[in-house]
Structure 1
Amino acid sequence: MSYVAPTPVVRRPWWQRLLRNPWFWVLFALVLISAACLIHTYVVVHADTEIEQNGQKGVIPGITNQSLKLGLHYAWPTAAVWSAIFICVDRFRTRHLHVWFLCFCWGACVATWVSMHLNTWMAGMLSVAGGVDPASGAGPAVYSAPFVEESCKAFVLFALAVATGRRMTSVVQTVSAAGLSAIGFAFVENIMYYARADNYARVTASAGDPKQALMELVLLRGVYTSFGHPLFTSMTGIGLALGLRSRSRLVRIFAPTTGFVMAVVGHMLFNGFSSVLPMQALKKLWFVALGVVASVVVFIVIRTVREGKMIRHRLGDYVKAGWLPASDADTLSALRRRQWATLVAVSQGPRRWWRTLEFLRVGTDLAYLRDAVVRGLDDDPGPRQIQLINRMNVLRPMAVTVARGAKLSKPRLPNILRRRRNRPVNHELQWAPPQA
């Protein structure tokens, strides 16, 4: 069968496309805002704090640069591992570097800055007396901090849903974005917790060995309970995706709300049990928490398998109509074939790899658009469908589109490093043809 012939597309220079891309300005503004938030957070935690207790005034020293560097040293491995996990979760969406960066940067910089000030304000409203951080008491940790922190982390999810419209309808996509926002938040929070513990142990003689106290906290927050923030925010992401994929207005309202409430309640229970229960009871509850994490993992795996079947069926509609070859549905619907096509493209050069990623992304967007049409979520998809099909056909000669039977290319040296071989010269006389 024949498919739609590609229409000629005149592409502007890369810098013009970059300046015309709204994502560039969104990320540019986010970088500036994030830098301002990080600088102000550093000023707040680094400055000395004056306190007055029982009529006596005192000064609590701020966190030193040495402690902050040590906190960063122990916090980044946890953030790197969990970020890689959540990026791998959304394997059906390729070349979404800007979304991944947006979510992580929001959680690490903006969400932590906003929650720090809101937690302090709400702790003051609850009239809680504490140490340096008024939000460090048991009351704010249970009643105010979960609501504030989950609201700040989930804000970027709802903003993306409003900005991208129907394109953000996959559960694995929203879970990936939610997890990156949460792990960014936990990354900066762990830095401050580790630095505060090290700083306190250094200035307090009764605290014992500073390194031992810090390592206990690193194992607790960076290993044993590192799944906390991603787990809670993922519940909001699951509820948001289920609401976006539903035609019922009632489900669209209650599904995200239920997911957010579950995230807040789970966060409250986590903080509450950690504050009041002994260590032996917490060890038993830790296995219960692992069971919840395993349930979420199984749910995401099932949704990933269903996403692949959905892509095959929706692209199959275009194959039956003769608009796409059957190899597109076969390649784009299976993760292992998508990964093999990407690996083959890498062996053929960076340009082919980049075009292959774009081809996979455009084909996935087309499948989700067709699914929205079938579900009745999109009323006028005609121009968008034609645009995506034409783009796939333009990319087809420049990308690896057939995974079955594709073989890796042998590595080639750059032209500069290649040796010029002397070609044999033909010394025979070459007679020109007679002119008419």
Structure 2
Amino acid sequence: MATFSPYPPHPGHPAGGVPGHGPRERWWRRNWVRHCALITLLSLSGLVILALVRQQTGTEGFLVGLGLAVLPVPLLVAAFCWLDRVDPGPWRNLFFSFAWGACAAALIAIVANSFATRWIATTTADPTSADTLGATVIAPIVEESAKAAAVLLVFLFRRRDFTGIVDGVVIAGVTATGFAFTENILYLGTAFGTDQLTGDRGFTSVTAATFFVRIVMSPFAHPLFTVLTGIGFGIAALSPDRRPIRRTLLPLTGLLLAMGMHAIWNGSSTFGQYGFFEVYGMLMVPAFGLLTWLAVWTRQRELRTVREELPVYVHAGWLPPAEPFVLGSMKARRLAREYARHHLGRSGARTVAQYEAYATTLAILRHRHAGPEFPLRERQLLHELWLRREVARPALDYAARRTAPPVPVIVPPWPVYGSYGNAAAPYSVYNPYHS
């Protein structure tokens, strides 16, 4: 009888056989080549955008703009990280998204917007109309497309990390935060240079007005636009692979909505004396509230998925009865990490956090039943849980005693997706908890 190994098959062999016998991967498809190319692209973009912004603002204006523009960044990034706490993605995705928005997307926007506006002004011989058309038509198309490229790249090349709406919101929001950071440096630095020429100071200065509008009133503007694109990609990630048209149209619809909202926002100054405040109160604030509610509701839905999908592994003997409730409660998860940090230090808390993340990914994977890759991916995730069980189990038991209600777990007849979830033969497969 063949024996079962808990370790995942070697990636070079499609059947998980002897390592090294799979087809040789072409050099341009290797991860290190892609990483080096991406780092080079972002580094060059960062250097060029730094030179362009400094040229337009001057050194002193650049430093002032940098100091003021950085203020909302930690708050926005922290908000998106809080939203991503249920099934956190890798930090490298967030770092790439912010760097793309701040460097590559900002560079594309500056070059393309300037070229298009100058071409329109030269063609029509009307610089005022060219500026208006550039702000309300050209800029939304160029900027939203440049920011959407980051979401598309993560969607294509980090597909395992892109599982739903929350991932789309987080990647899009962090990308737009990086873009707004660079743009705010440019606007605030230019405003400071104007005040240096006119001698304005204090609350009546152009710098103060720009800071109030862009940093105080609307720090969420760019994230709000691009989040619509992220939602489109997130819904596409939930769609079956056999529906390619739907998976293509949903991101495009989100992108078009982002461009439309961006155009209305940029054109608010042309709607009359109080056009800006009308658009802000009637469009931006309600949209911000609605999208915030949608993101929080989706996060709660992920927790509910954890509570509903993990009990099948309780029935198979992989998890204790109370663990699905603990992993489906943010309060219980926090208690487990605090217990591990108190008794085992930061490394123990990190191990518990990893256990929680892998368990959440497993629940979402089972909920989606992601095609032929499901058995292998399920096997890998269960192996990751098995490696961390000795550290995580006491902390989760403690959280269960503090939060879980004394109700027995009732296992409904789940469909059989993989060998681990086979309720008809719960111990017929390899299980490290049973001898």
Fold match by TM threshold 0.5: yes
Contact kept? 1:7, 1:394, Cα under 8 Å: no
Q: Which residue of 2 aligns with 1:40?
A: 48
SS of 1:208's equivalent? Answer: coil
| 1:367-378 map, 5 Å | 367-373=363-369, 377-378=370-371
Q: Which residue of 2 aligns with 1:381?
A: 374
Q: Which residue of 2 aligns with 1:208?
A: 200
SS of 2:401's equivalent? Answer: coil
| 1:302-317 map, 5 Å | 302-317=297-312
When residues 324 and 404 of structure 1 are mapped into structure 2, their CA distance, relative to the original with a 3 A threshold, is: closer
Contact kept? 2:231, 2:254, Cα under 8 Å: yes
Count of aligned pairs between the two proteins:
373
Matched, 1:71 2:75: no
Q: Which is worse superposed, 249-258 or 390-399? A: 249-258
Q: Which residue of 2 aligns with 1:322?
A: 317
When residues 135 and 229 of structure 1 are mapped into structure 2, their CA distance, relative to the original with a 3 A threshold, is: farther
Task: Give the drift of 1:192.
Answer: 0.8
Contact kept? 1:87, 1:100, Cα under 8 Å: no
SS of 1:42's equivalent? Answer: helix
When residues 222 and 28 of structure 1 are mapped into structure 2, their CA distance, relative to the original with a 3 A threshold, is: farther
Match of 2:178 among 162, 175, 184: 184
Give the Cα–Cα distance (whole angstroms) in 2 for the partners of residues 356 and 136 of structure 1: 56
Matched, 1:366 2:362: yes
Task: Give the drift of 1:396.
Answer: 0.8
Q: Which residue of 1 aligns with 2:286?
A: 291
Task: Give the drift of 1:31.
Answer: 4.1
Q: Which has the larger radius of gyration?
A: 1
When residues 108 and 24 of structure 1 are mapped into structure 2, their CA distance, relative to the original with a 3 A threshold, is: farther
| 1:108-187 map, 5 Å | 108-127=102-121, 137-187=131-181
Task: Give the drift of 1:175.
Answer: 0.4
Task: Give the drift of 1:379.
Answer: 2.3
Contact kept? 1:179, 1:231, Cα under 8 Å: yes
Residues 403-431 of structure 1, C-alpha deviation per residue, up to 9 Å, x if partnerless? 22379xxxxxxxxxxxxxxxxxxxxxxxx
Matched, 1:251 2:243: no
Match of 2:341 among 333, 346, 352: 346
Q: Which residue of 1 aligns with 2:229?
A: 236
Q: Which residue of 2 aligns with 1:277?
A: 271
Contact kept? 2:235, 2:250, Cα under 8 Å: yes
Gap runs ≥5 in structure 1: 10-21, 48-61, 408-436
Task: Give the drift of 1:136.
Answer: 8.9
Task: Give the drift of 1:302.
Answer: 1.5
SS of 1:144's equivalent? Answer: helix
When residues 153 and 29 of structure 1 are mapped into structure 2, their CA distance, relative to the original with a 3 A threshold, is: same
Give the Cα–Cα distance (whole angstroms) in 1 for the partners of residues 112 and 155 of structure 2: 25
When residues 72 and 319 of structure 1 are mapped into structure 2, their CA distance, relative to the original with a 3 A threshold, is: same
Give the Cα–Cα distance (whole angstroms) in 1 for the partners of residues 39 and 340 of structure 2: 32
Q: Is the helix fraction higher in 1 or 2?
A: 2
Q: Which residue of 1 aligns with 2:257?
A: 262
Task: Give the drift of 1:26.
Answer: 5.6
Task: Give the drift of 1:68.
Answer: 0.6
Amino acid at match of 1:365: T
Amino acid at match of 1:231: L
Amino acid at match of 1:186: A
Give the Cα–Cα distance (whole angstroms) in 2 for the partners of residues 334 and 187 of structure 1: 34
Give the Cα–Cα distance (whole angstroms) in 2 for the partners of residues 92 and 6 of structure 1: 29
Q: Which residue of 1 aligns with 2:400?
A: 404
Q: Which is worse superposed, 80-89 or 328-337? A: 328-337
Give the Cα–Cα distance (whole angstroms) in 1 for the partners of residues 400 and 93 of structure 2: 30
Q: Which residue of 2 aligns with 1:337?
A: 332
When residues 134 and 191 of structure 1 are mapped into structure 2, their CA distance, relative to the original with a 3 A threshold, is: farther
Amino acid at match of 1:241: G
Contact kept? 2:98, 2:176, Cα under 8 Å: yes
Q: Which is worse superposed, 338-347 or 253-262? A: 338-347
When residues 95 and 353 of structure 1 are mapped into structure 2, their CA distance, relative to the original with a 3 A threshold, is: farther
Q: TM-score by structure 2 length?
A: 0.78
Task: Give the drift of 1:8.
Answer: 7.8
Q: Which residue of 1 aligns with 2:424?
A: none
Q: Which residue of 1 aligns with 2:83?
A: 89
Residues 159-190 of structure 1, C-alpha deviation per residue, up to 9 Å, x if partnerless? 11111235412211210111000011000100
Residues 64-114 of structure 1, C-alpha deviation per residue, up to 9 Å, x if partnerless? 211111001111111111111111111112362212111111111111112
Give the Cα–Cα distance (whole angstroms) in 2 for the partners of residues 239 and 112 of structure 1: 22
Q: Percent identity between the aligned chains?
A: 25
Give the Cα–Cα distance (whole angstroms) in 2 for the partners of residues 254 and 41 of structure 1: 32
